[in-house]
Structure formats: C-alpha cells, structure tokens
Amino acid sequence: MTIEKIFSKYKFPEELKNIFIQTGIHTLYPPQAQAIEAGALDGRNILLSVPTAAGKTLVAELCMLRSLLSAPGRCLYIVPLKALANEKYEDLKKKYSSVGIKVGVATGDTDLPNDILSGYHILIATAEKIDALLRTRAQWLLNRLNVVVLDEIHFLNDQERGPTLEILTARIKQLNPKVQFLALSATISNAPDIAAWLGAQLVESQWRPIPLREGIYWNEEILFNRGPSRLIQGTGPDLNKLADDTLRGKGQMLVFTNSRRSSEAASRLLCSTAGIFLSEDERRTLTRLAEILRGPESSMTRICRRLGDTVEHGVAFHHAGLKPEQRKLIEENFKNGLLKIICSTPTLAAGVNLPARRAVIRDVKRFEGGLGASFIPVSEYKQCAGRAGRPQYDEFGESVLIAKTPGEAKSLMERYINARPEPVISRLGSDSALRTHILASIAGDYVHDINDTFDFISHTFLAHQKRPLNLIEMIGHVFDFLQEEDFIEKQGFRFFATPFGQYTNRLYIDPASSIILRDGLHKIAKGKSFSNIGLLHLTCCCPDSPLLRNWKSQWEEIEAFAYNCQDEIILQEEDFPMLTDMGLHMAIMKTTMMLCRWIDEEREEKICDDFNIGPGDIYRHLEAVQWLLYAAITFAELFQYKKLTFLLSNLRNRVKYGIKEELISLSHLKGIGRVRARLLYENGYKHATDLKSASAEDLAKIDKINLPLARDIINQVSRP
Ligand code: ADP
C-alpha cells in the first residue's frame, strides 16, 4: 500500500505527502497496511501489537493527521515515560510544525498553563500528567478530543504506572465514548484481551523491518532459532569474544545485565576489546566526551570517573544512577556510532529507541529483595532482544543469551526463545492504587457513592479481566477507609471529598502518605519534640518516598545515627507499626541519613561514594522529598499550624539546594548553587542584601564566579 494511494483516498494535502516522501516513506510496512485495512483511518479503535520498529508511530501519526484534517479538535499521545514523551515531541514537532500543526508536550516537569496546553493540536503527555489534569476536571482536555494514542499499552502490567494508565483510559472511554483509541504495544500474549477491553480491532504481526535472529551462545558458537549458526572467535571471556565478533563486522552491541554494578563491571571488561576498533579521530572525540561525562575534577563522583574511564575506550554503562543529561549524551553518542557498546540494566530496553546489531542478554537471573535469584520474565527478555537490528545499518539483528553448558543452552531456548511473553494483567487491584484512584474519582466529582464507583470501575481492565476479586466488597472497604481517615464525608446518601481529601488528590500523593504527614503534624502540634531530622524521617516514612536499600553494609553507622536522633523522630513504632519491620526501618533511616548529609552541605560526590549511589539517585530522592514537604506545608496551612509552615518551607529550601540554614537567602539567586553560595558567605556576603553594596569586579575575585556571572548577580540584587 503506497503513501500516494492513502493520501489520495483520504484527501491529505500535498504538503503533508511531501513530509512523508522526504523522510523516505513511500510504501507502508505490512503491519501498517493491516492497520489501515482494519479501519485505523476510518475512526475505528485499533490495538496494534507488533515488534519494536515495525512502524507503530507512523500509524498513530496518520490517524491523528486524518482526524485533524476532518474536524477541528485535538489528539492526545500518551506515553509511559518522560524520556519517551520528549523523544516523540522532538520528532513530531520537527515533522509537522512547518504545516501549522501545533505539537506540545506535558510531562509534569515543565508545567505550562492549561490555556497553552489546550492550544496544541497534538499533545504528547505522560499518563500521570493526563491523570492529574482529569483529576482537576480539565474540561478542555475532553472537549473536541478526537484521537487518543496509548503508546506502549503493555505498561498496564507495570505495578507503579499501570493503574494510572488504566484509570485514565477508562475515564476517557466513559466521558467521551466517541474518541478513537489507538493502542500500540510490543508483542504480548493476551493482546485479544486488551483489544476486547478497548472495543478495538486487533492488528497483530511478527513482522520486523530488520529480521531478528534469536540465539544461544555456547562454546564459541551461537545457535539461532532460524538460519545457520555462527562461529565466534576471539580471545578472553565469552562477552569479549562476542564483542570482538560484533565490532569486527562493524556493528554495535548492547549488553543487558541484572544490576547496576554488573553493568559497570561488564563495561570495564569490554574496554580492552572495544579499544582495538577505534580510529585516532574517534579516540580524540571519546576523550572529550569522557571529560564532559566526568565533570570537573573537584566535584567528580566515583561513578562519573568510572563512566569516563570506560567511555574513553568506546564503552559506556547506562543505569538509573546516572544523571538524565549523562544518559542522554550516552544515547546520542551510541546513535551516531561513536560509542560501540553500552552495558545497561533492562530499563534501557523499555526507554528510548536505541537499537544495535547485537543485543546480548547476559543475565537471565536477578536478585529480588529477599527472594533470592529468580528468572527474569519472558517479556523482559523479548523487550531486550527486540533492540537488536538497526534500520538502515544492519541487514539483520541478533539477540544472544549465554549458556554455560549444553543443557543450559537447551533450557534457555525453551524458556525464552521459544516462549511467549507473560500475559499483561491489571495492577489496579492493589490497595494503594484503589484508594488513590477512588479518592480521585470522588474528589473530581466523577462518583459519589459505591454504586457509581462500581459502574466506573467496571470500565477498567481490572473488571474486564474478571480476576477472582470481589470488586464491590473491595470498593466498600476503600470507602470505609477513606471515610474513617477523613478524606471523604457523607452528606445525605452521597460522599464528597473533605478539604483534606481534596488536597491529597491535587497533591497527587498516596492517601497513606497524607495520613503519615497529617499524624506527624498533629503530634508536633501537641508538643512532640522534633528537629529537621524528624521531619525528614517523617517524609521518608511516606510510601511516595523512594528508599535507599542495601543498608546491611552500613548497619553500624545507621544504627548509631538512629540511636543519636531517637528523641527527634516524630513517628515512632506505636504510631506507625510498619516501622517494626527491620528492613523498612533501616531503609528509612538510611535515606534520612543521606538527606541530612545533603542539607549539611556534604559534597555530592562524597554522598554518592559513601552511600554507593549515583548522582541520578540523589536527585530522585530530593525531588520526592521536596514534594512531600510541599504536601506537609499544604496540610500545615490547612490545620493552621502557622509556625510549622515556616519551618517546613525553610527545610524545603535546604533540601532543594543542599544547604545549611544560613545560606537560604543567597541560594535564591539565579546561577548560584550550594557551592557558590557557600563561597559568597565565606567572603562576607551573608545575605542577598549584602551584595547590594558589592561591585561586579569584587565578586569576580571569588573562586568559581566569573565577571559575567558577577554582573548578573549585581543585576539581580539591584532589581526593586
Ligand atoms: P515503532 O513505533 O513500531 O517502534 P517507529 O514508528 O518508531 O516504530 O518506526 C521505526 C522507524 O521506521 C522510524 O525511523 C520510521 O521513520 C521508520 N518507518 C516507519 N514506517 C516506515 C515506512 N513505511 N517506510 C520506511 N520507514 C518507515
């Protein structure tokens, strides 16, 4: 099926056709043609379940364009991860802004006001952002909404993100039944189930633009599920032999490992192999890239140093401990061919589009908290394997599992290569998901009693799957819980959110977090002694706070910390029985200890090294704690604890900038982080107003402050 034919049948203007032709798209890929034949451009709901890179996005684009051409309105493109939202935004904006189609992005980071968001023809957003908008009844979102693209719908299976995706889909389905849903997914075994839930036509295919061969490496040979086997020669460990073979054939390689530590170890191991294949030019460019990734000597963390050291040899590791900008640089330089190998945790496979000739899934077992080593799911293997094969560069892609014995080779073939991925199941049945979303439904005035709620929940995938759950009973329990904890109240026969419930809903936190914050604040108001440590500990008790695990190595230090601050801790075991769980108690303490060091101006690199974490981890924790402190401030205002509001705001600033109390005034200046604020303070500028009498030349004499920055500081303080 040619683009020409589709464009003339659906009367697309010439300028749009040119965009497609210019990007080399003349004929549809087979699954794309199947989707069109199934009615994608005639407004039918479609579930397109095909492998990565088989062109799902293009079908979505055609549907959105068709709807925008036929009636004024808007399309939503919903993705599960922020990085994916930004990637899609860049792509679509570049493609369509020249023809007047306004493309926007909303991820919760760059919160543009609704009147701007409502002006976009195509709004790309994370599921969380759309859910948050629906909670505030953003009517503009549903008015004139024509097409909703649900990208990576298999994320329904994700414990954390699945329930939100499910709820917002059910909500849109209920409020605007005319919307066309276009759900896109990797191959899943129960696609018919999801299609039936969405009332969608299922389009399934195994077709890939670059054929994939899945194989098992054993004893210097890869045995594939199709085609001839391949002899692998080279020296050193198996992984090096595979790398040598890939790079010799001018390919690139992705290695998936089971932990951050093993991704780093694997990348170190591969340096000697990758280094052989670098040209002089590449070496020079890689040295520069390594310098950028390491950052300045004075603030270099061990992780950044290790990253720089492997990148010099054309190998990078990639995991959530790295900063987002480091990850982005690694991805870009792999795409442009400079980096030859990336060793990564499986998060990379679920993220941005980053294919390679060969994907080696080195570890098929992973240690899960307390459960010992267990096999990774087939779906995870398939997702990683699917990254093999780079369009325009590779004739075929190869995924490789490594076996240690012939018996293991056989069992891996059965367990992974010949297996079907696990079915996607609804995750909405958890207590946390149900109480959060039922409260959101009441607070958003969507439902007011158990029957309405049951009606609404019956639109969800949870109800569709009819797992052995007694839904009405579960909903009843949630209502009891929300009423007992004062999130909702009964007026006549109907339930409404209390102010506490409304705030919880708008703050987008788990009601269990609100209870912890509220109870802590009440205790303080009644005279409980406390300190900043106690407040930080309180936020770390909330289920919305991520926790540092692996506390065993720092056991004694954490015990001593807990002992020294026991009188300052606000929530004790008697108020929060979960603290009797030793693992949770220690994880909360360890996280509190890390945060305390941060606000005491401990250097970032020292925190990373001492806690064995990456800079990316620190920022994830800071973001969560700042938000929970903001929630605490909101509740303190609600309960009229005025003094606490002030203390909490100060603490929030300290967490934001990583500073002691005395630097708060200086930290508000733009371009001044924790390090420069400390330098200014030590040079006698203790308060922002002290800078009014300084000259730019004086300030430029201070370490790390150059003349342009000094001038900018003077400008900032002299503004009225
Ligand atoms: P998916 O969403 O299934 O992972 P994409 O839509 O991102 O796949 O497509 C992968 C690549 O293939 C993109 O670079 C896209 O431009 C290209 N592509 C998609 N459809 C076609 C086509 N019909 N002809 C040529 N290239 C195509």
Q: Say how many Å lie between the CA of residue 393 and the centre of ligand 1.
A: 14
Please choose from 22, 36, 58, 212 the residue to mutate so as to test ligand 1's pocket, defined by most ligand atoms within 8 A of CB: 58
Please choose from 4, 34, 57 the residue to mutate so as to test ligand 1's pocket, defined by most ligand atoms within 8 A of CB: 57
Lowest mean pLDDT segment, chosen from 195-199, 245-249, 505-509, 669-673: 669-673
Q: Given the structure tokens 């990373």, which residue do they identify?
A: 608
pLDDT of residue 235: 83
Q: Say how many Å lie between the CA of residue 31 and the centre of ligand 1.
A: 11
Say if residues 120 and 147 touch (Cβ distance below 8 Å): no
Q: Say how many Å lie between the CA of residue 329 and the centre of ligand 1.
A: 23
Torsion of CA 543, 547, 551, 557, to 10 degrees: -100
Closest CA to 386 of 186, 251, 228: 186
Question: What are the distances in angstroms from CA 618 to CA 282, 562, 605, 656?
Answer: 32, 21, 10, 11
Q: Say how many Å lie between the CA of residue 56 and the centre of ligand 1.
A: 7
228 lines ligand 1 (CB under 6 A): no
Which atom of ligand 1 lies closest to the CA of 51?
Answer: 3
Which atom of ligand 1 lies closest to the CA of 58?
Answer: 6
Q: Say how many Å lie between the CA of residue 54 and the centre of ligand 1.
A: 6
Say if residues 464 and 197 touch (Cβ distance below 8 Å): yes
393 lines ligand 1 (CB under 6 A): no
Average pLDDT over residues 209-214: 93
Q: What is the pLDDT of residues 28-46, one digit of tens each?
A: 999 999 999 999 999 999 9
108 lines ligand 1 (CB under 6 A): no
If one compares 187 and 204, the residue with the highest pLDDT of the two is 204
Which atom of ligand 1 lies closest to the CA of 26?
Answer: 24
631 lines ligand 1 (CB under 6 A): no
Say if residues 568 and 529 touch (Cβ distance below 8 Å): yes
Buried residues in 435-465 as b, exposed as e (16+ CB within 10 A)? bbbbbbbbbbebbbeeeebbebbebbbbbbb
- pLDDT cut 90: percent of the chain above it: 72
Q: What is the distance between the alpha carbons of residues 314 and 341, in angstroms, rounded to a whole number?
A: 7
pLDDT of residue 136: 85
54 lines ligand 1 (CB under 6 A): yes
Average pLDDT over residues 510-538: 95
Average pLDDT over residues 323-348: 93
Q: Say how many Å lie between the CA of residue 96 and the centre of ligand 1.
A: 16
388 lines ligand 1 (CB under 6 A): no
Q: What is the distance between the alpha carbons of residues 46 and 40, in angstroms, rounded to a whole number?
A: 6
Q: What is the pLDDT of residues 417-450, one digit of tens each?
A: 999 999 999 999 999 999 999 999 999 999 999 9
Q: What is the distance between the alpha carbons of residues 359 and 253, in angstroms, rounded to a whole number?
A: 6
Closest CA to 157 of 352, 425, 375, 407: 425
pLDDT of residue 601: 96
55 lines ligand 1 (CB under 6 A): yes
Helix (H) or strand (E) holding 145: strand 145-150
Q: Tell me the pLDDT band of 468, cut-offs 50, 70 and 90.
A: low
To the nearest whole number, what is the mean pLDDT of the chain? 92
Say if residues 385 and 359 touch (Cβ distance below 8 Å): yes
> Is the C-alpha dihedral spanning 337, 391, 379, 469 positive or negative?
positive
> Is the C-alpha dihedral spanning 108, 113, 116, 120 positive or negative?
positive
pLDDT of residue 103: 96
208 lines ligand 1 (CB under 6 A): no
Q: Given the structure tokens 């570890």, which residue do they identify?
A: 363
Lowest mean pLDDT segment, chosen from 344-353, 357-366, 381-390, 553-562: 344-353
pLDDT of residue 576: 85
Closest CA to 351 of 91, 213, 152: 152
Buried residues in 227-263 as b, exposed as e (16+ CB within 10 A)? eeebebebeeebbbbbbbbbbeeebbbbbbbbebebb
20 lines ligand 1 (CB under 6 A): no
56 lines ligand 1 (CB under 6 A): yes
Which atom of ligand 1 lies closest to the CA of 27?
Answer: 23
19 lines ligand 1 (CB under 6 A): no
Q: Say how many Å lie between the CA of residue 32 and the centre of ligand 1.
A: 10
**Residue 233 pLDDT > 90, yes or no?**
no
Average pLDDT over residues 556-563: 94
Q: Say how many Å lie between the CA of residue 25 and the centre of ligand 1.
A: 9
Say if residues 598 and 618 touch (Cβ distance below 8 Å): yes
52 lines ligand 1 (CB under 6 A): yes
pLDDT of residue 81: 87
**Residue 720 pLDDT > 80, yes or no?**
no
Q: Given the structure tokens 């230090």, which residue do they identify?
A: 557
391 lines ligand 1 (CB under 6 A): yes
Q: Say how many Å lie between the CA of residue 281 and the centre of ligand 1.
A: 32
Say if residues 80 and 162 touch (Cβ distance below 8 Å): no
pLDDT of residue 61: 96
Radius of gyration of the CA atoms of the chain, in A: 27
**Nearest protein Cα to ligand 1, atom 4:** 53
Q: What is the pLDDT of residues 365-374, one digit of tens each?
A: 988 765 678 9
